Amino acid sequence: MTRSLARTVFLAAVIVTLSVIASIGAAGGAPVGEPGLVPPTALGGVVGALALALLIVAVVRRADR
């Protein structure tokens, strides 16, 4: 793994972490249908953050070629 790719993967992990923290914080005031389930807002934040992280990694891998 090249140094730039490693930095990008780290940055993507930071983005995922911050997005998840923000989405869970935003979902704190939202009503939850059933107790014990993950709020849809938090789940959407996780999926969106993972998609963004994968996009960043794909762009950097393509640029390294």
Nearest-angstrom CA–CA distance, 48 and 7: 20
Tell me the two tokens of residue 1: 């793994």
Q: Compute the average pLDDT of residues 47-63.
A: 78
Max alpha carbon distance in the chain (Å)?
A: 48
pLDDT digits (tens, 9 = 90+) for 8-52: 777 777 777 777 777 666 656 555 556 666 666 667 777 777 787
Which pLDDT does position 25 carry in this prediction?
A: 66
* pTM (predicted TM-score): 0.49
Which pLDDT does position 27 carry in this prediction?
A: 59
Nearest-angstrom CA–CA distance, 65 and 37: 43
C-alpha pair distances (Å), 28 with each of 3, 10, 11, 50, 63: 38, 27, 26, 21, 39
Which pLDDT does position 54 carry in this prediction?
A: 79
Element counts in the chain: helices (H) and strands (E):
2, 0
